[in-house]
Amino acid sequence: MPAVSPLPSAARAEQPRRVAMLSIHTSPLDQPGTGDAGGMNVYVVETARRLAEAGTEVEIFTRGTSSQLPSNVELAPGVLVRHITAGPYEGLAKNDLPGQLCAVTAGVMRVEAARPEGWFDLIHSHYWLSGQVGWLASERWRVPLVHSMHTMAKVKNAELAEGDTPEPEIRIIGEEQVVEAASRLTANTSAEARELIDLYGANPGKVDVIHPGVDLQIFTPAPDNTSRERAGFADDEIVVLFVGRIQPLKAPDVLIRAIATLLSNRPDLRSRLRLVICGGPSGTGLDRPDSLVELSEEIGIRDRIDFRAPSSRTDLADLYRAADVTVVPSYSESFGLVAIESQACGTPVIASAVGGLPTAVGDGGILIDGHDPSDFARAIERIVTTPELRADLSSKARAHARNFGWEATTEGLLSTYEAALREATTAPAIASTQ
């Protein structure tokens, strides 16, 4: 990927002044790795900040989930988070949110109605629930709608983990409607763009591929040898890392079984190997929040697993640096921010060859076809017992990650926004000639 020039210090004439960003089902203020907060939350926060730095103000609308939250929170200069009251604050599952979309939409409309006409130049919605709200708002405000899926029901259902619950038909229908209504669609990778076109009938001319990024100021190789000490690991430990929400889709159970297989084949590694699972229950994983503990006890490796709660971005960077390898065994990933964050820290990745992970991993790791724990066990053993291989992958991982700064993502979004605005301006003229 070619290097991207720095963003201009002053806003370009054609870029939007203000964008309404919709993240209805999960707040950018939530801790990634718990509940419904994950890579999308990071994406919204990082791009909103940089859009504001580039001269485009951003107001992020999300559903309020606590009466203790203020109505408005300044996330960064030029970035305001608005909490919309819709339904009960606590205890409303994501699958119940479609019943509250009218209330959410009304709240969003009410904010805009209190502003001068034409306050927002464009709407950018994230995930299908936000797309439904954005669809109505864009028609009411007569502004373009840019939509980012992040995940898609048809893709998830085609790659469902054993025993997991398929996405409901209401979501599939809702996604199809948003694809049809959006002025432009962003896809994290070329693979996701093909899925939008092939599975949802998206107009290829409306789909822009914009890779997510990584904060290259936070996620860096270790400046010294203290990362392991800060993370609580001994120097001679072999650390295998999983970062993500605990749910069947992310397949942490596959990794636990892989570690059991590895230790069965290499009992000499048992005293030094530690699997760290950093994340909280989410989605269908909430049905059995202790399932991974139970599994590790059942197969006899509970003493080799360190379960940790999600951590701050700086602590997470230390965790990546301290690990020998990060494993991303997901059944479906639109991109895989964990993979690129780990590689930016110089830690190679083993990942399933699904969705956007081949793009995120590049040559900085090993891709696995399928989800056989034995295949993951062999790959882990290769990396942790072959210093030359790990050093080579670490070097390649760092070089690959440097191509994925959030600045490039933001530049891509600005180009998409500008295209949507140009098309909206010329559309009436085209219609009048027909």
The number of distinct structural domains making up the chain is 2
Which of 208-212, 216-220, 230-234 is least confident?
A: 230-234
Dist. CA 178–CA 131, nearest whole Å: 6
Residue whose C-alpha is closest to residue 138's, from 126, 150, 146:
146
Question: Residue 220 falls within a domain, yes or no?
Answer: no
Band of pLDDT at residue 160, cut at 50, 70 and 90:
confident
Dist. CA 44–CA 240, nearest whole Å: 29
The whole-number average pLDDT for the span 85-90 is: 79
**pLDDT for res 225:** 74
Judge if 91 and 123 occupy the same domain. yes
Dist. CA 77–CA 170, nearest whole Å: 37
Band of pLDDT at residue 96, cut at 50, 70 and 90:
confident
C-beta neighbour count of 290 within 10 angstroms: 10
Judge if 183 and 332 occupy the same domain. no
Judge if 254 and 186 occupy the same domain. no
Contact criterion met (CB below 8 Å) for 397 and 348: yes
What are the tokens at 340? 């690129």
Alpha helices in 182-289, H assignment, sequence order? 190-200, 227-231, 252-265
pLDDT digits (tens, 9 = 90+) for 411-424: 999 999 999 999 98
Dist. CA 184–CA 56, nearest whole Å: 18
| Residue 147 belongs to domain spanning | 18-213+406-432
Residue whose C-alpha is closest to residue 421's, from 78, 142, 51:
142
Dist. CA 292–CA 215, nearest whole Å: 30
What are the tokens at 250? 């992310």
* Through-space distance between the first and last CA atoms of the chain, rounded to whole angstroms: 41
- In 233-289, the DSSP E strands lie at 238-243, 273-278
pTM beyond cutoff 0.85: yes
Share of residues in the chain with pLDDT > 90 (%): 73
Judge if 202 and 324 occupy the same domain. no
Dist. CA 310–CA 330, nearest whole Å: 18
Q: Which amino acid is at 277?
A: I
Band of pLDDT at residue 139, cut at 50, 70 and 90:
very high
Dist. CA 47–CA 10, nearest whole Å: 17
Contact criterion met (CB below 8 Å) for 337 and 367: no
Question: Residue 1 falls within a domain, yes or no?
Answer: no
**pLDDT for res 142:** 95
pLDDT digits (tens, 9 = 90+) for 14-71: 899 999 999 998 888 887 766 677 789 999 999 999 999 999 999 999 998 877 788 9
**pLDDT for res 427:** 62
Mean pLDDT of all residues in the chain?
90
Judge if 191 and 238 occupy the same domain. no
| SS percent in the chain: helix, strand, coil, step 5 | 45, 15, 35
**pLDDT for res 432:** 38
Band of pLDDT at residue 93, cut at 50, 70 and 90:
confident
What are the tokens at 147? 């939509």
Question: Residue 195 falls within a domain, yes or no?
Answer: yes
Band of pLDDT at residue 281, cut at 50, 70 and 90:
confident
Contact criterion met (CB below 8 Å) for 202 and 196: yes
Band of pLDDT at residue 282, cut at 50, 70 and 90:
low
Dist. CA 130–CA 84, nearest whole Å: 12
Q: Cβ contacts of residue 338 below 8 Å, gap of 6+?
A: 39, 243, 244, 326, 328
Question: Residue 94 falls within a domain, yes or no?
Answer: yes
Q: Cβ contacts of residue 358 below 8 Å, gap of 6+?
A: 191, 367
Judge if 155 and 243 occupy the same domain. no
**pLDDT for res 352:** 97
Contact criterion met (CB below 8 Å) for 290 and 297: no
Judge if 84 and 183 occupy the same domain. yes
**pLDDT for res 238:** 96
Question: Residue 218 falls within a domain, yes or no?
Answer: no
Select the more confidently predicted residue: 300 or 96: 300
**Bridge pairing between strands 325-328 and 207-209:** unpaired
Judge if 243 and 194 occupy the same domain. no
Judge if 413 and 341 occupy the same domain. no
**pLDDT for res 159:** 87
The whole-number average pLDDT for the span 185-212 is: 97
Contact criterion met (CB below 8 Å) for 19 and 56: yes
pLDDT at 285 exceeding the cut of 80 = no
Question: Residue 4 falls within a domain, yes or no?
Answer: no
Question: Residue 50 falls within a domain, yes or no?
Answer: yes
Judge if 157 and 294 occupy the same domain. no
Judge if 198 and 262 occupy the same domain. no
Judge if 252 and 196 occupy the same domain. no
Question: Residue 264 falls within a domain, yes or no?
Answer: yes
Dist. CA 10–CA 422, nearest whole Å: 20
- 244: CATH: 3.40.50.2000
Select the more confidently predicted residue: 428 or 137: 137
